[in-house]
Chain A
């Protein structure tokens, strides 16, 4: 049996029909073809599947898609504007904070939600905010440096 699911993803409205046993991650990747969101552990531990649901980071592998009916979702594909990538993405590239890239979409979305709320964080606060995103190759140091640089960049703009 399929159920109606109405969802706004990256600002675009979608009317879908999905079986009840699909997670938000399944729908994003397989119904909408948004492969930027990754399946890591599938058990809500690693954060590779992090997306923003109503602006807040969640593990999309543990969210039953039908529970997001009428809600808005932002994935990594939704961060670029007019063909240019987001300042956080730019910072990750400039700091070599992407190696295999698998944890990157989740890391960046966690960082975005955090920086939206707390634009001038300490290093400790940055590490705390990323506690639900595991990285197994790049290393956290360059990731934290990248996020710190976004803060400085914003300071310079002001």
Chain B
């Protein structure tokens, strides 16, 4: 599985990278950790003539708190997200979803920017990004722009970034207090497997110790051509108290909002059923943390 030959550049600044991208228009690919791109090159799905590595660009590697938000650079690895002390409270759902990616080897190389730009409907960090209301910040020689994450994914394997643009960082707004999140992924085995359905649930509760929901966001993976939000379920949950009956009904809404396909991993029917189950489980987990006295029985 030899790779086709290519020219290699490893710029140390974004400006340099953008210039190289322009000079090699149409023939170049941006390379971060390579866990997706190198694989595609080995399989000859893509055969770029020029590779521009982004790993030597310092400003893309940063993760920092800025005013009212968390800024995560494009080449921050999943391992860094998994272990970063900055990802607590409302951001914790991002580290728990980064932890579900592939294996330690893949998480040490794979980057957040790469995971988003690869735009797999099954990407583990995407449902979390959706529920956190992230903004994707991209730069080009013409300037910069912000793409809201809801508009970022345009199809399986495609996203809203133009050819001359580079994803610089992702801005994640600070979550209100009393926000709790859970990410659940279902696969055949726990490691090195693509999700056959995944659910990210982020709930902002009314007040301390209360079970009533001020706002809820639900992100789904692997059950639609792109990662999606389950907005009808979110609307249904607004203002309600997290309890058994409500959770079950929300699960049914979620099920009605997805349109999975059948493939080698699972049938559409199975995915549809499992996305409901995952959603119910995720909300029961939140309920267990929030108000354990309301929870009868033990849930995973």
Q: What is the total number of residues of chain A having a CB less than 8 Å from a CB of chain B?
A: 32
Within 8 A of A (CB), among B54-109: 55, 79, 102-106, 108-109
A105: Cβ under 8 A from any B Cβ: no
Interface contact tally, CB-CB below 8 A: 90
Beta-carbon contact of A59 and B10 below 8 Å: no
Distance between A5 CB and nearest chain B CB, rounded to angstroms: 10
Residues of B within 8 A of A22 (CB): 3
Beta-carbon contact of A63 and B5 below 8 Å: no
Residues of B within 8 A of A67 (CB): 10, 31, 34, 53, 55
Q: How far is the CA of A39 from the CA of B2 in the complex (A)?
A: 12
Residues of B within 8 A of A20 (CB): 5-8, 51
Q: How far is the CA of A53 from the CA of B104 in the complex (A)?
A: 12
Residues of B within 8 A of A21 (CB): 2-6
Beta-carbon contact of A56 and B79 below 8 Å: yes
Residues of B within 8 A of A19 (CB): 5
Q: 1/0 per residue A58-87: CB within 8 Å of B?
A: 110011101101000000000000000000
Beta-carbon contact of B34 and A64 below 8 Å: yes
Beta-carbon contact of A23 and B38 below 8 Å: yes
Beta-carbon contact of B35 and A62 below 8 Å: yes
B108 to chain A: closest residue by CB = A56
Distance between A108 CB and nearest chain B CB, rounded to angstroms: 14
Beta-carbon contact of A44 and B7 below 8 Å: no
Residues of A within 8 A of B43 (CB): 43
Beta-carbon contact of B6 and A59 below 8 Å: no
Q: How far is the CA of A43 from the CA of B35 in the complex (A)?
A: 9
A71 to chain B: closest residue by CB = B55
Within 8 A of A (CB), among B19-49: 31, 34-35, 38-39, 42-43
Beta-carbon contact of A47 and B6 below 8 Å: no
Distance between B8 CB and nearest chain A CB, rounded to angstroms: 4
B232: Cβ under 8 A from any A Cβ: no
Centre residue among B39, B51, B103, B191 by max chain A CB count within 10 A = B103
A129: Cβ under 8 A from any B Cβ: yes
Beta-carbon contact of B3 and A44 below 8 Å: no
Say which residue of A1, A56, A62 sits within 8 Å of B7 (CB atoms).
Answer: A1
Beta-carbon contact of B108 and A58 below 8 Å: yes
Say which residue of A63, A64, A66, A132 sits within 8 Å of B104 (CB atoms).
Answer: A132
Beta-carbon contact of A131 and B6 below 8 Å: no
Say which residue of A56, A63, A132 sits within 8 Å of B102 (CB atoms).
Answer: A132
Residues of B within 8 A of A119 (CB): none
Distance between B194 CB and nearest chain A CB, rounded to angstroms: 11
Distance between B49 CB and nearest chain A CB, rounded to angstroms: 11
B192: Cβ under 8 A from any A Cβ: yes
A20 to chain B: closest residue by CB = B8
Beta-carbon contact of B109 and A58 below 8 Å: yes
Residues of B within 8 A of A131 (CB): 103-104, 190-192
Q: How far is the CA of A37 from the CA of B4 in the complex (A)?
A: 22
Beta-carbon contact of A47 and B5 below 8 Å: no
Beta-carbon contact of B192 and A43 below 8 Å: no
A19 to chain B: closest residue by CB = B5
B264: Cβ under 8 A from any A Cβ: no
Query: Given A42-B1, A66-B53, does the pair A57, B105 have CB atoms closer than 8 Å?
Result: yes
Residues of B within 8 A of A59 (CB): 35, 105-106, 109
B50 to chain A: closest residue by CB = A20
Distance between A131 CB and nearest chain B CB, rounded to angstroms: 3
Beta-carbon contact of B109 and A47 below 8 Å: no
Distance between B183 CB and nearest chain A CB, rounded to angstroms: 16
A110: Cβ under 8 A from any B Cβ: yes
Within 8 A of B (CB), among A1-52: 1, 3, 19-23, 42-45, 47, 50
Beta-carbon contact of A50 and B105 below 8 Å: yes
Residues of A within 8 A of B3 (CB): 21-23
B8 to chain A: closest residue by CB = A20
Q: B residues bordering A, Cβ < 8 Å?
A: 1-8, 10, 31, 34-35, 38-39, 42-43, 51, 53, 55, 79, 102-106, 108-109, 190-192
> 8 tightest CB-CB pairs across the interface, nearest first?
A132-B103, A131-B191, A20-B8, A21-B3, A56-B108, A132-B105, A42-B1, A59-B105
